[in-house]
């Protein structure tokens, strides 16, 4: 445009245009950049009024003196090259407060008619709000990214319809069995084993419809550690939208529930096996002629077979609320409770005989056996037991005991006569000098003594079983009794009997019966240690009880048979034990004597190394 047009424009029009412009404008003249003109917008940006017009820029805005703007203005003034700044930081004092602001601006040279640079024009737009928003957005994105990367779940973001892996945290990479090299790749290429599985199609459907998809315990086959493996996930595909509400990416969150799914499957399989097993054993129990039951840890019934219901005439109402105590004879109940409490404490099996009332109202004998079903922590889940009617057996046993009692009494008289004749014959033959025949008579006498002892045991058993055994109790010194018996036994034993004792004191018991127990301990110790040559006898006082023990170094007793040695007619089985004579009554009688004397009897043994038998009796009151 020719200069003549500019010359025709009134200066007032230019000034009006300048002041009404929608952008901040200023004219800085000379090297001191004196403010020739400044419109209202730029004065607001500077935080000044029109009093600064006519002042050099650094005098009007002293806070910019050490910032980059004076140097930039000087370079434009000297070179004539415009300068454009975008989102440039500037510290300005507004209302007495120094703050940081951001601007887009242009510095352009101003020429005179001679085409000489006489100043610099300023066009500026404040973009502080935009920059702050962008910073906040960047901070938000950074926090979001850190949240994803450090999340406890597997998280990934897929961008575009091609599902480019834009972001994936370490958990997701481990889920895929991949490293960070897959970032930026299409998901199909990053995880090629997904081909033929539904996930890619589901992602594209979410992308096109904008609807979230979620799944629970969904199966995924992935190559991890070099092999294809099956996993199960709870996951979701959620669309991410831009400010125009358009879907541009998908957020994938996943939780590995493989262990939970597999555990549940195993549990279901175990439950099914248990159900089949329970059905099988329930059918088996119903087919058995015995009473079969289970109870909770507290002893209340949890199952009764039909035989039990019919035997006691009870219904399912008993289950969960009752136990056997309601049927047990009052005289037998304390004994049963004692055995039960011991089994509960030790969490071990138990076996006991007792009388129980049947549906007819009569008491019959039952033999009950039960074992605990323990959980992984060793606690009792339930008791599994059987009960057998042994009433006829008990009747036969009573008849047998009656027979043995009668037979034993009848045998004692002829045995006494035989023993007398044997002794007379021994003396006569010895007197006649026939020592060889006399020896036979002596051996006959010894055998009669053994037979008399066996008959005595049988008589004791019948008395015990019938409750007729008599105890003639009195105070006596146990140490003196031990010395007498040991001295007597030592005369006929090849074993050395070593006695260890302290000040034992007196006990209140049947001296003859206690003597019988001590003798039994000693004879057994010698009998069951054929290859040893010593037996140790020990008596001691623990302040309340006298404790007597006999230790041998013989055959020993297996752990699972130690509790049975005090039972009637029980003998430890084995090749060596089977050659040792006896009826299995001595320890049974000994146990009955001690227990009826308010004492205790027990054994400690190691197979092949020997046994120690103990009994204890309360000391007399005057000793306590």
Last-in-domain residue among 368, 389, 410: 389
Same domain, 120 and 194: no
Same domain, 11 and 124: yes
Same domain, 210 and 176: yes
What is the rounded CA–CA span in Å between residue 318 and residue 209?
62
Same domain, 458 and 489: no
Same domain, 494 and 600: yes
Q: Which among 358, 384, 394, 222 is positioned nearest to 301, based on CA atoms?
A: 384
| Residue 269 belongs to a domain | no
Contact between residue 62 and residue 80 where contact means Cβ atoms under 8 Å apart? no
**Backbone CA torsion sign across 451, 453, 456, 460:** negative
Query: Residues with Cβ < 8 Å from 226, sequence gap 6 or more?
Result: none
Contact between residue 613 and residue 521 where contact means Cβ atoms under 8 Å apart? yes
What is the rounded CA–CA span in Å between residue 172 and residue 162?
19
Strands of 242-395, DSSP E: 247-256, 291-295, 301-304, 350-357, 363-374, 380-389
The whole-number pLDDT of residue 1 equals: 43
pLDDT tens profile 99-114 = 899 999 999 999 988 8
The CATH number of the domain holding residue 484 is 3.30.565.10
The whole-number pLDDT of residue 110 equals: 92
Same domain, 16 and 39: yes
Query: Residues with Cβ < 8 Å from 448, sequence gap 6 or more?
Result: 415, 418, 419, 422
| Residue 272 belongs to a domain | no
Same domain, 454 and 493: no
| Residue 142 belongs to a domain | no
pLDDT tens profile 44-99 = 999 999 899 999 999 999 999 889 999 999 999 999 999 999 999 999 998 888 88
Annotate 587-604 with b (16+ C-beta within 10 A) or e (fewer).
Answer: bbbbbbbbeebebebbbe
The whole-number pLDDT of residue 116 equals: 92
| Residue 275 belongs to a domain | no
Last-in-domain residue among 413, 442, 464: 464
The whole-number pLDDT of residue 88 equals: 92
| Residue 62 belongs to a domain | yes
Last-in-domain residue among 335, 356, 389: 389
What is the span of the domain harbouring residue 174? 151-256
| Residue 353 belongs to a domain | yes
The whole-number pLDDT of residue 444 equals: 73
User: Beta strands 610-618 and 506-510: pairing type?
Assistant: unpaired
Same domain, 504 and 596: yes
Same domain, 482 and 452: no
- Quote the pTM value: 0.39
Same domain, 376 and 416: no
DSSP letters spanning 337-349: HHHHHHHHHHT--
What is the rounded CA–CA span in Å between residue 619 and residue 547?
10
Give the CA angle between residues 195, 201, 205 to the nearest 5°.
165
The whole-number pLDDT of residue 238 equals: 92
Q: For 526, list phi and psi in degrees, rounded to 5.
A: -70, -45
Query: Residues with Cβ < 8 Å from 213, sequence gap 6 or more?
Result: 202, 205, 206, 236, 237
What is the rounded CA–CA span in Å between residue 340 and residue 334?
10
Contact between residue 38 and residue 55 where contact means Cβ atoms under 8 Å apart? no
Same domain, 547 and 573: yes
| Residue 141 belongs to a domain | no
Query: Residues with Cβ < 8 Å from 220, sequence gap 6 or more?
Result: 197, 199, 230, 231, 232, 233
The CATH number of the domain holding residue 115 is 3.30.450.20
Number of domains the chain contains: 5
The secondary structure of residue 620, as a DSSP letter, is P
| Residue 273 belongs to a domain | no
Give the CA angle between residues 312, 313, 314 to the nearest 5°.
95
The CATH number of the domain holding residue 429 is 1.10.287
Which residues of the chain carry a pLDDT beneath 70? 1-21, 137-149, 151, 276-288, 397-413, 415-416, 419, 421, 445-446, 448-469, 569-584, 621-624
Same domain, 205 and 294: no
């Amino acid at each position: 445009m020719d200069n003549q047009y500019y010359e025709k424009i009134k200066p007032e029009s230019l000034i009006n245009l300048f002041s009404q412009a929608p952008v901040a404008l200023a004219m800085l003249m000379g090297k001191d950049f004196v403010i020739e003109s400044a419109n209202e917008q730029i004065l607001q940006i500077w935080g000044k009024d029109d009093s600064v017009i006519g002042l050099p820029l650094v005098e009007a805005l002293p806070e910019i003196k050490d910032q980059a703007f004076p140097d930039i203005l000087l370079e434009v003034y000297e070179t004539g090259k415009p300068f454009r700044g975008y989102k440039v930081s500037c510290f300005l004092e507004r209302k007495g407060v120094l703050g940081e602001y951001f601007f887009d601006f242009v510095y352009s040279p101003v020429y005179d008619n001679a085409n000489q640079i006489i100043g610099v024009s300023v066009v500026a737009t404040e973009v502080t709000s935009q920059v702050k928003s962008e910073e906040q957005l960047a901070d938000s994105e950074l926090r979001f990214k850190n949240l994803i990367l450090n999340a406890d779940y597997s998280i990934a973001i897929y961008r575009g319809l091609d599902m480019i892996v834009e972001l994936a945290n370490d958990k997701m990479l481990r889920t895929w069995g991949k490293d960070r090299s897959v970032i930026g790749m299409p998901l199909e290429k990053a995880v090629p084993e997904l081909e033929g599985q539904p996930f890619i199609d589901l992602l594209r459907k979410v992308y096109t419809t904008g609807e979230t998809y979620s799944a629970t315990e969904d199966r995924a086959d992935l190559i991890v550690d070099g092999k294809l493996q099956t996993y199960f996930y709870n996951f979701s595909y959620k669309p991410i939208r831009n400010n125009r509400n358009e879907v541009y990416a998908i957020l994938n969150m996943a939780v590995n529930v493989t262990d939970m799914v597999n555990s549940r499957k195993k549990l279901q399989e175990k439950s099914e096996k248990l159900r089949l097993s329970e059905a099988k054993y329930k059918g088996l129990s119903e087919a058995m002629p015995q009473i079969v039951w289970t109870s909770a840890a507290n002893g209340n019934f949890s199952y009764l077979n039909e035989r039990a219901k019919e035997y006691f005439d009870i219904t399912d109402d008993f289950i969960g609320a009752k136990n056997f105590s309601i049927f047990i004879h009052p005289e037998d109940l304390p004994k049963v409770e004692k055995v039960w409490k011991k089994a509960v404490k030790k969490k071990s099996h138990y076996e006991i005989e007792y009388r129980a009332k049947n549906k007819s109202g009569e008491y019959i004998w039952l033999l009950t056996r039960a074992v605990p079903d323990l959980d992984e922590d060793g606690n009792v889940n339930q008791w599994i037991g059987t009960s057998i009617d042994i009433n006829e057996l008990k009747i036969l046993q009573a008849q047998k005991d009656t027979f043995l009692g009668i037979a034993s009494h009848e045998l004692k008289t002829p045995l006494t006569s035989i023993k007398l004749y044997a002794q007379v014959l021994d003396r006569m033959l010895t007197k006649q000098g026939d020592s060889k025949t006399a020896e036979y008579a002596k051996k006959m006498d010894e055998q009669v003594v053994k037979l008399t002892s066996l008959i005595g045991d049988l008589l004791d058993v019948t008395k015990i079983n019938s409750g007729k055994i008599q105890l003639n109790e009195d105070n006596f010194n146990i140490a003196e009794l031990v010395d007498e018996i040991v001295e007597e036994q030592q005369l006929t034993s090849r074993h050395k009997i070593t006695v260890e004792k302290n000040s034992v004191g007196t006990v209140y018991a049947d001296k003859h019966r206690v003597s019988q127990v001590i003798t039994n301990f000693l004879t057994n110790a010698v009998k069951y240690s054929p290859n040893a040559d010593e037996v140790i006898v020990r008596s001691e006082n623990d302040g309340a009880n006298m404790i007597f023990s006999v230790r041998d170094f013989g055959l020993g007793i297996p752990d699972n048979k130690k509790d049975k040695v005090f039972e009637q007619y029980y003998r430890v089985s084995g090749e060596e034990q089977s050659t040792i004579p006896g009826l299995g009554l001595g320890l049974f009688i000994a146990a009955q004597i001690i227990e009826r004397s308010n004492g205790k009897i027990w054994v400690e043994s190691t197979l092949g190394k020997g046994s120690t038998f103990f009994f204890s009796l309360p000391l007399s009151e005057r000793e306590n």
